[in-house]
Structure 1
Amino acid sequence: MPELPEVETVRRGFHELVAGRQFSQVEVYRDRLVRTQLGGPSEFRARLLGQNIEGVARRGKFMWLALANGQAMVVHLGMSGQIRPLTKEQAAGPARRHERVRFWFQDATEELAGFSFIDQRTFGSLQVCDTVPTSDGFPAGWPLASTHLPLPAAKIARDLLDPYLDTAAVINNWKQRVAPIKTLLLAQNVVSGFGNIYADEALFAAKVRGTTPAGALSHKKLQDILDQGARIMTDSLSRGGTSFDALYVDVNGESGTFADYLQVYGRAKQPCRVCGQELKVIQLAKRSHHYCVSCQRSRSLPRLEGK
């Protein structure tokens, strides 16, 4: 499943394709892709036709097209969703393999007439919805200045690359929690953008085992987890994200190369690149957790007096 660096990689290319354009036609080839749209495919089309696109924004792993009428088209890539540009020749032809929805621009050119949403596994989804103000009054999602975000994203916290993230509030929240730190990293309601890959990588870099109760960690160590996460995500972003197969690609069809730089994720039973110990993988809250027994020591909460 694409995480923050992968979604941001797609967002950058997507923004370049659509910002300032106007929808002239929409064709839904597979109704499942608009399954969350109230009113179904016909309502999805009706809400987009003639609408101008201000740009593409993102919060965590959540991406949307901001429309000039104040609404938004939410784009969930799922496990295999891809945004691919259409030339005028392609736009006039039949649906491409795994193409689920096609969009045409009013000002079509030979090189760019619209774009396709391609999704082999069809776990992705598209929805046009209303927007609501952000709870803190700051811009909703990078890089747009609008302080409104799609209603389904209202409970998604700001992410590590968001300049308006209150890291002190994140740490103070975690200090009160007894849940495993990895579980909290994946929750998306205090800080967003982490998935299995970058949670494991950040915890390894910070030398913290994911089973450790968040409240057992110092403020300094919790800050280190956030700092390492931001550093690793930025590095991944510079390499186009992490691709394990051809299902995740950017808008130009290019795969990311960060998989070559992963320290622990997907490397169970292989030697740790730091100490040489065999890496382990366990199930934690129904998710896999990759770690090094030697480099990532476990911690526990201090016992209360009388207990």
Structure 2
Amino acid sequence: MKLTDLQAKGIDIQENIPLSRYSFTETGGPAQFLAFPKSLAELQDLLAAAEEEQLPITVIGNASNLIISDKGIKGLVIILTKMHQIKVAGDKVTAEAGARIIDTSFTAGKAGLSGLEFAAGIPGSVGGAVFMNAGAYGGETKDCLETATVLTKDGQLKTYSNAELQFSYRHSLVQETKEIVVSAVFALKKGDREAILDEMNYLNALRKYKQPLEYPSCGSVFKRPTGHFVGPMLIKAGLQGKQIGGAQVSMKHAGFIVNKGGATATDYLNLIHYIQKTIKEKYGIDLHTEVRIIGDK
């Protein structure tokens, strides 16, 4: 079966679509083919068709922590945001990979379940949260995830336990296996509904106060080096406000690079490299990116 056959069956597949429409930085070149599966079956059909046509496959969640190159991505790009079901059963919440982790957090909170409060403002998807072990305000995905189900390279379903996912700081096993997260189960604790929602709203107010949410960005750009905080280090190095093209080290939070208008992915990458070079020269510290950089070079 080919992509044209799947289009005829009603699967949303488009050609030569700018990925800047979907990335949080509002940058990125075109996808050769772009698909939005609504179910696991559609996703499996897309993978099989791409294999038959020998197309490389790139899977994206909410594209909140990505920089996509200006040349775009050849092959088939799959965005999972239409696979977004969230279900509550007892003290567990099951969410499909394309569901926003924010929505998953608030669904849990409204059900009086505690443990996902930290994720109330993280803009990524559930799949992305598992892939990156996303975290904020002292909490991480690994703290409450029970299992994650993935699609293996040969199209089979496999379920990993928390321990099997080998979580560490902004890392999980699926970064090595290249498997596709399709759903996750969070094991939470019963709590006071109003207190949980109050905590979530407080953390979101804090985020709004501290972070440059008024501009497009890819969130926190760099991983935190041991013993250091990135934002203060960049301020001390005189990098806050540094701008290349339309990309600027945020004046509100130096750990963010924002699109001040008309930025390209190349602007972002040039600014990242400039920051890394400056910090290495001044302090001897290697800054590694937390944001994923993907696409054709």
Q: Same fold, TM exceeding 0.5?
A: no
More strand by share: 2
